[in-house]
């Protein structure tokens, strides 16, 4: 999943600054056999899921919501197929973000030289492959878990990154991701809620999305 880039950070918006989640009281022991087994339990390199994106603009008192389907394809990228409130396709890789609107208009943004984008995108890529240990190269890792649920917390180690983002939390059950939330250092945030996550059964129609 190293080549995947994340559209998640492209949609961060304003929200109030809340107290840090409880997970940040539990630094992860990356050498603990239990934590290693937890990371190794993630087998699927390519996934698909339905998503709901929640953006909160605290200063304006507005909450924006969109939904659709996401495809996470190993060595290709991520395709965000937004269905509501407006149809669009967003493709992200480690070097570019492409968007196709319902009217056929296509735009592309080069992000290959953006250090902050790369650091955060790499962390999200590691998350979706269950490689939380590699995320420790750029972030301090925190972890709590039970037999049925778990939560990972990531706090950036690099000063340039921490000036932009405060923390990331990831929640799930078993090998299924339920939620990814990011809070920016100035209070900006975005939450993604996932459902019906499963291994991606590739089809020619879906692979064509990556060619926009």
Kindly list the domain boundaries of the chain, sorted by start residue: 8-200
For the 8-200 domain, the top CATH level (class) is mainly beta
Can you give the pTM of this predicted structure? 0.81
List per-residue pLDDT tens for the chain, 212 residues long. 444 444 444 443 333 444 678 999 999 998 999 888 888 887 666 888 999 999 887 777 788 999 999 988 877 778 899 999 999 999 887 778 888 898 889 998 887 778 777 777 777 777 777 777 788 888 999 999 987 899 999 999 888 888 888 999 999 998 889 999 988 877 778 999 999 998 887 776 677 777 77
Q: What is the 3-state secondary structure (H, E, C) of 63-89?
A: EEEEEEEEEEECCCEEEEEEEECCCEE
Separation CA 80–CA 82 (nearest Å): 6
Q: Is 24 helix (H, G, I), strand (E, B) or coil?
A: helix
At residue 8, the pLDDT reads 42
207 burial level (CB within 10 Å; 0-12, 13-18, 19+) = middle
Interatomic CA distance for residues 86 and 210, integer angstroms: 19
pLDDT of residue 62: 85
- At 37 the pLDDT is 86
Phi, psi of 138 (to 5 degrees): -120, -15
Residue 17: its pLDDT value, please?
A: 42
Q: What is the pLDDT of residue 179?
A: 95
């Amino acid at each position: 999943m190293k080549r995947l880039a994340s559209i998640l950070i492209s949609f961060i918006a304003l929200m109030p600054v809340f107290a840090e989640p409880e997970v940040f009281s539990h630094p992860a022991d990356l050498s603990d056999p239990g934590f290693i087994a937890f990371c190794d339990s993630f087998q699927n390199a390519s996934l698909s899921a339905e998503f709901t994106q929640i953006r909160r603009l605290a200063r304006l008192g507005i909450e924006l919501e969109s939904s659709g389907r996401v495809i996470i394809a190993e060595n290709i990228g991520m395709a965000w197929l937004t269905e509501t409130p407006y149809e669009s396709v967003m493709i992200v890789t480690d070097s570019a973000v492409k968007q196709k609107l319902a009217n056929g208009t296509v735009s592309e943004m080069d992000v290959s030289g953006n250090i902050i984008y790369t650091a955060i995108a790499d962390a999200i890529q590691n998350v979706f492959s269950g490689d939380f240990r590699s995320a420790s190269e750029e972030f301090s890792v925190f972890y709590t878990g039970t037999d049925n649920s778990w939560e990972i917390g990531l706090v950036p180690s690099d000063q340039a990154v921490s000036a932009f983002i405060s923390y990331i939390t990831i929640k799930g059950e078993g090998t299924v991701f339920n939620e990814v939330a990011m809070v920016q250092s100035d209070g900006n945030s975005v939450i993604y809620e996932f459902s019906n996550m499963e291994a991606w059964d590739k089809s020619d129609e879906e692979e064509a999305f990556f060619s926009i």
